[in-house]
Amino acid sequence: MENWDDLSQVQPDVYKMLKNSRLKNRIAHAYLFEGGKGTGKREASVLLAKSLFCENLSDTIIPCNSCHACRRIDSGNHPDVHLLEPDGLSLKKDQIQELQEEFSKKAVESSRKFYTIVHADKMTSQAANSLLKFLEEPHQETTAILITEQVQRILPTILSRCQVINFKPLSPGNFKNSLLNEGVTPQSASIISSLTQNLEEALELNSQEWFAQAQKIMVKLYEVLSSNSMKALLYLQEEWFSHFKEKEQIDRGLDLLYLIHKDLLYVQLDKRDQIVFKEIEKKLEHDALLISPKTLAGKMSMILDSKKRLMSNTNTQLLMEQLVLNLQEGSSFV
C-alpha cells in the first residue's frame, strides 16, 4: 500500500477520514487503528507517516515513495519516525519510557515526530499508565498511532484520548490479492478467501496438507452425489470419515461443500469469474443445466442446516449420511 488510492481500494472509509484530515491539516495527536489481522492498519500508518514527512509533497499529500524521507520510513530508519513492538509477549514500561525520552528531544529533520505502537493491547499495566501520561500531555507536532486487533483490551482512559478508526474485514477480492502477495496459488487463494478473513488462519490453512487433501475429497464427494445413493454412502465410509474426524474438520468440510454448490449458483447467474473450484468448472456447467434455482437453494440450505446441527450433541456419522441422502433426493430434513 504505497498511496492513498491503494488505501481507498482496501479501506474506503479509513481513506476518506485520513485523507480529509491530512488535506485540511487537522491530523489528530493520537489515533487508534483497530481491526482484524491483515486489514491494512500497519500499512496505513506508514502511508500517513510518509504523507507527513515526504520531501516532495509541495501542494499535494501524495508521497513520492522515492525521496530520502520516504525511503527511510520504509526501511525503518527515519530519525523522527519510530515503531514500537512487543518485547517478547508484551510491551513493557521501559519501552514506553525510552520512547518518551526520544520524544523529549528536538526533532532531527523537521518540527514533527511520529510514532506507531503495534499490538497496543499487549501493553503491561505499567506501560499503559506511562503511555497515558504521554497522551495526556502530547508534544506539539506529535502524531501517535496505536494498532490493535483487540480493542476491548485497551484501557478506556487511553481510548478516550485517541481518535478510533475501524478497519473493516477485507472483501474476498482484496483478501485474495493479499494471499496472492503472500505466495498462495490463485486456486487456493480463491477458496481460502471465501472461508476466512484472518490472514494468519488463511496462511495456516494454505500450509496444511490436511486442507489440501480435504478439498480433493469434497470434490469427489460432490461428484459421487450424482451417482446412486449406495455409492455415495460407501464413499463416506471408505474415504470421508477417515479424513474428517473432529467436528471442526467436518465443519470445514461442509464449508467446502457449500462453496461447490455456491459455484453452481454462480454458473446459473453467469458469474463464472467468481467460481472458486475452477478444476471442475465443466462439470459445474453441466450440472447447472440439470438443477433448478429453487432446488439448488434447497440443497445449500441443507448444508447450512447441517452445520448448525453439527454444533449440537448429534451423531456426526448419521448427520453426514442424512445430508448425503437428502442432497441426492433434493428433499428437506425431516
Q: How far is CA 293 from CA 154, 307, 331, in A?
A: 48, 21, 14
pLDDT of residue 330: 56
Q: What's the mean pLDDT when you consider all of the chain?
A: 90
pTM for the complete prediction? 0.66
What's domain 4-169's architecture?
A: 3-Layer(aba) Sandwich (3.40)
Spell out the domain ranges in the chain: 4-169, 208-329
Instruction: Indicate the DSSP class of residue 238.
Output: I
Residue 332: what pLDDT?
A: 37
- The values of phi and psi at residue 297, to 5°, are -60, -40
Q: What are the backbone dihedrals phi and psi of residue 125, each rounded to the nearest 5 degrees, phi first? A: -60, -35
Mean pLDDT in residue range 267-289: 94
pLDDT over 50 (residue 334): no
Q: Report DSSP state, residue 21.
A: H
Q: Which of 104-113, 272-281, 283-292, 305-314 has the lowest mean pLDDT?
A: 104-113
Give residue 107's pLDDT: 67
Mean pLDDT, rounded, for 15-23: 93
Edge-to-edge strand list for the sheet holding 142-148: 81-84, 113-117, 142-148, 30-35, 163-167
Q: Is 115 exposed, middle or buried (0-12, 13-18, 19+ CB in 10 A)?
A: buried
Span 208-329 CATH architecture: Up-down Bundle (1.20)
Residue-wise DSSP of 83-112: EE--BTTBB-HHHHHHHHHHHTSPPSSSS-
Q: For residue 331, is pLDDT > 70?
A: no
Assign 333 a pLDDT band (cuts: 50, 70, 90).
Answer: very low
Q: How far is CA 196 from the centre of its chain?
A: 7
Mean pLDDT of 171-177: 83
Between residues 45 and 105, the one the model is more confident about = 45
Three-state DSSP class for residue 204: helix
